Amino acid sequence: MRDLIIRNGRIIDPSIGRDEIADLYVIGGRVSAEPPNNGCEVIDARNLVITPGLIDIHVHLREPGQTHKETIETGSHAAAAGGFSSIVCMPNTDPPADNPSAITWISDRARAGAWVNVFPTGAITKGLNGEEMAPIGSMVQAGIVAITDDGHCVQNHEVMRRAVEYARMFDLAVLDHCQDYNMVGSGVMHEGYWSSVLGLDGWPRTGEELMVMRNILLAELCKTRIHCQHLSSGGSVRLLRDARARGIQVTGELCPHHIALTDEFVSSFDTNYKMNPPLRAREDVEALIEGVADGTITLLGSDHAPHAFFEKEVEFDRAPFGILGLETELALFLTILVHRTKAIDIEHLITMYTVNPSTLLRLQKGTLVSGADADITLIDPDLEWTFRKEQSFSHSRNTPFDGWELKGRAVRTIVGGKTVWSV
Amino acid sequence: MKTPEPKHANDLPETANWHRKDLLGIRELELRELETILDTAAAFKTVGSRDIKKVPSLRGKTIVNFFVEPSTRTRTSFELAAFRLSADVVNISATTSSLQKGETLKDTALNLQALYADIIVLRHSSAGAPKFLAERLDSSIINAGDGAHEHPTQALLDAFTIRERLGKIEGLKIAIVGDILFSRVARSDIWALKKLGAEVTLVGPSTLVPRSFEEMGVKVARHIDDILDSADVINLLRIQHERQRKEYFPSLNEYIRFFGLTKARAARLRPGCLVMHPGPINRGVEIDSEIADGPQSVILDQVTNGLAVRMAALYLCSTAGRKTR
């Protein structure tokens, strides 16, 4: 591995409030204040933004058990192509990552074949069944960065309360997929005009909001932090805003599809518009964007959820939930949040992808201070390009964004001083 | 009396206004397309009353009735319609199909196409299943009911029956009563009757008639008594409390108390008001037995007209399909 000089880029490092045109030096895989000696590689970063390597806190790598959808290798390759030097993978694999050996297995696989840093999470409950606490402490020792039953939601508030309380002992974040099973029932799309027209079972906003409210109350009760994943409802944003104003340690996450699309797209019955939580109405999109702009929502993630073509190519109500996200999320957020609505500037966006996830999960990442791991993303914020699913590095192709014209993208991803991907 | 000669396809109404190989729903149809089907159905209806009930329009065509969800009346109606058009018909039901063995809908349908099915009539429990097939097959797809989404031929036969009895649809006050939320008939009726100019009011328990339906351009009434005096047509939908609606209303008794068309309520209907029901009826639940058999009931006309409407749908889609293939 050669040392690096990344020249003449706009360095945006929100961890220390740095925003200037400068050169960035990498020596021995770490950020350096001093330039390397001769023989180093020089990367021209004129008109590019140099940021701490981006972190996606919500990725499904499907390994073990579902390697026909994705593997740690293919998923992390897609992450690199999306500008992510670190990804946090969800435990709803087959079998679920609910014990320390599973975590060790994932970490070993990642070390052997991943393109970027992979941080595993562990299940909150054994088998993701919502009943019995998983061996959280042992999984912490095995290297998890958070617990979550993502894809599922612990319905029993007492079980959730004890898990949250227990996780606090390890300063461990609890990530929750907010879904009240009774309220949502067999819902497959947002409950509203379009579900009425299409005759598909509705998934009401309230099904999410009830659990957001539950998490706010538990975060307050247990005086610890709970993170609400992939928020879709404007009502959830309001709840979160009020709770955060009262100082409760609750955070929220936004996925790009929830602001790029609405429930109207489901009228095509194309299962690439089926996700959980579902695409919602225009007013939810506006509330979510406002929530990002005013700092209520502080984290971004893809909920990258690969599924094989044959699994998605079925009747709408029988298809699995979820779409790919890693290679389109940065571009979609830049296009919608920074360029189109101007809800936030690029520094704010980078903060949500670097400092905020590092803070939530206590990762030693997301900064370009001297001595830090040289995880670096180069972004061309104004590059206009068209996403083609054929070119994806994921093992799957389930995306509704094929052919979308986007503005801005990562052009190079560096992990530990080594370029793992570039345009 | 001499029976008229069976008509030939050439004598049938102009089909220039119909270009669809598939009939998937009413929502996407233009008014002139709706009228084309109804006019074509009117021409076909005369066939049914003849001694020789066949025309050669679809001779040599293969029609598959692919019913993944149980149905007697709709399947029989499509089957007879196909016979009357001289087509060859095969019936496949959920229990006899390979779907039972885990084959996907797509694969089953591709197999049907490989057997040169010209038209597939699909009844399926999943909304959007007919569209799914139409996008993947060259065969014409006719939606015979998909989940709670649409049941276009039912709406067409309802419209046909109203037009036949009352001479028009525009300006009529039509009430649809019952389980709207889970009804594909209600949705197709709403689109058809709205496009044809009727004023549609939905009536039923608030749990089964969400306010979001108002955005489709219909009114919602909470009390059946509000519409009795003014309705030109009252269409009662089947209530399925026994199976799955227990959290939507407490009991059939209570449903009857608030929404059943009892004799007392029927007495308040205008004399010319038509009483309709897509069947199968629950006598004594959504409709009193005597009213179902009474002079205002057109329930059996609906069944008869269903045949003509389905002949029209098969004929038009087959003709347009031939052009596009």
Instruction: Respond yes or no on whether ipTM tops 0.90.
Output: yes
Q: What is the band of B293 on the pLDDT scale with cuts at 50, 70, 90? A: very high
pLDDT of residue B133: 95
- A309 vs B: CB within 8 A: no
Q: In the 8-state DSSP scheme, what is residue A339?
A: I
Q: What is the mean pLDDT of residues A253-265?
A: 98
**Which of A177, A262, A168 lies closest to A220 in space, CA to CA?**
A168
Q: Which two tokens stand for residue A133?
A: 């606490």
Note whether B104 contacts A314, CB cutoff 8 Å.
Answer: yes
Three-state DSSP state, B91: strand
B13 pLDDT more than 80: no
Q: What is the band of B103 on the pLDDT scale with cuts at 50, 70, 90? A: confident
pLDDT of residue B246: 72
Strands of the sheet containing B88-93, edge to edge, are B88-93, B62-67, B119-124, B140-146
Note whether B147 contacts A317, CB cutoff 8 Å.
Answer: yes
CB atoms within 10 A of CB A133: 18
Backbone phi, psi, residue A257, to 5°: -65, -25
pLDDT of residue B245: 66
pLDDT of residue B3: 38
Q: What is the mean pLDDT of residues A130-144?
A: 98
Give Cα separations from B5 to A336, B53, B170, B314 (angstroms): 67, 10, 35, 22
As a whole number of angstroms, the distance between CA A84 and CA B200 comes to 54
Contact B83, B54 (CB under 8 A): yes
Q: What is the mean pLDDT of residues A338-364?
A: 98
Q: What is the mean pLDDT of residues B55-60?
A: 94
A56 pLDDT more than 50: yes
Bigger pLDDT: B243 vs A311: A311
Strands of the sheet containing A173-176, edge to edge, are A146-148, A173-176, A226-228, A250-254, A299-300
Q: What is the band of A46 on the pLDDT scale with cuts at 50, 70, 90? A: very high
Three-state DSSP state, B309: helix
| DSSP string of B99-134, one letter each residue | GGGT--HHHHHHHHHHTT-SEEEEEESSTTHHHHHH
Q: Which two tokens stand for residue B286?
A: 């959504």
As a whole number of angstroms, the distance between CA A203 and CA A316 comes to 14
Closest by Cβ to A316, choosing from B126, B212, B216: B126
Q: What is the mean pLDDT of residues A361-385?
A: 98
Q: What is the band of B9 on the pLDDT scale with cuts at 50, 70, 90? A: very low
Q: Please tell me the distance in Å from B134's CA to the nearest CA on chain A.
A: 12
pLDDT of residue B4: 42
As a whole number of angstroms, the distance between CA A166 and CA A200 comes to 40
Where are the domains positioned within chain A?
54-369
B197 pLDDT more than 70: yes
Q: Which of A61-75, A272-286, B96-110 is least confident? A: B96-110
Q: Which of A116-130, A174-188, B13-27, B193-207 is least confident? A: B13-27
Active site residues of A: 303
Q: In the 8-state DSSP scheme, what is residue A336?
A: I
Where are the domains positioned within chain B?
9-150+304-324, 152-303
A31 pLDDT more than 80: yes
Beta bridge partners of A125: A133
pLDDT of residue A236: 98
CB atoms within 10 A of CB A5: 18
Contact A199, A332 (CB under 8 A): no
pLDDT of residue B242: 59
Contacting residues for A193 by C-beta, under 8 A, at least 6 apart: A281, B212, B215, B216
pLDDT of residue B14: 64
Give me the helices (H) in chain B, please.
31-48, 73-84, 105-114, 129-134, 152-166, 184-195, 225-228, 241-244, 252-259, 263-266, 289-292, 299-324
A323 pLDDT more than 80: yes
pLDDT of residue B69: 87
Q: What is the mean pLDDT of residues A14-30?
A: 98
CB < 8 Å to B181, chain A = 196
pLDDT of residue B323: 58
- A264 vs B: CB within 8 A: no
A32 pLDDT more than 90: yes
Helices B152-166 and B73-84 cross at an angle (nearest 10°) of 70
Contact A255, A297 (CB under 8 A): no
Note whether B150 contacts A199, CB cutoff 8 Å.
Answer: yes
CB atoms within 10 A of CB A141: 12
Closest by Cβ to A199, choosing from B105, B132, B149: B149
**What CATH architecture does domain B152-303 belong to?**
3-Layer(aba) Sandwich (3.40)
Contacting residues for A353 by C-beta, under 8 A, at least 6 apart: A51, A54, A55, A56, A300, A330
CATH tag for A54-369 (out of 3.30.465.10, 3.20.20.140, 3.40.50.11540, 3.40.50.150): 3.20.20.140
Note whether A315 contacts B149, CB cutoff 8 Å.
Answer: no
β-pairing verdict for A49-52 and A376-386: antiparallel
Q: Please tell me the distance in Å from B80's CA to the nearest CA on chain A.
A: 29
pLDDT of residue B1: 38
As a whole number of angstroms, the distance between CA A277 and CA B236 comes to 35
Q: Which two tokens stand for residue B298?
A: 């057109």
Contacting residues for B30 by C-beta, under 8 A, at least 6 apart: none
Which residue, among A190, A198, A310, A317, would best test binding to B if mutated, counting the most B CBs under 10 Å from its CB?
A198
Q: What is the mean pLDDT of residues B241-264?
A: 85
pLDDT of residue B322: 66
β-pairing verdict for A299-300 and A173-176: unpaired
What's the start-to-end Cα distance of chain B, in Å? 43
As a whole number of angstroms, the distance between CA B325 and CA B322 comes to 5
Tell me the average pLDDT of chain A: 97
As a whole number of angstroms, the distance between CA A220 and CA A255 comes to 25
As a whole number of angstroms, the distance between CA B1 and CA A109 comes to 87
β-pairing verdict for A18-27 and B274-276: unpaired
| DSSP string of B168-224, one letter each residue | --TT-EEEEES--TT-HHHHHHHHHHHHTT-EEEEES-TTTS-GGGGGGT-EEES-T
A198 pLDDT more than 70: yes
Q: Which two tokens stand for residue B206?
A: 């608030």
Q: In the 8-state DSSP scheme, what is residue B283?
A: B
Q: Please tell me the distance in Å from A196's CA to the nearest CA on chain B.
A: 6
Q: In the 8-state DSSP scheme, what is residue A147?
A: E
**What's the per-residue H, E or C state across A169-222?**
CCCCEEEECCCCHHHHCCCCEECCHHHHHHCCCEECHHHHHHHHHHHHHHHHHH
As a whole number of angstroms, the distance between CA A278 and CA A201 comes to 11
CB < 8 Å to B215, chain A = 193, 196
Q: Which CATH superfamily is domain B9-150+304-324 in?
A: Aspartate/ornithine carbamoyltransferase (3.40.50.1370)
Q: What is the mean pLDDT of residues A391-408?
A: 98
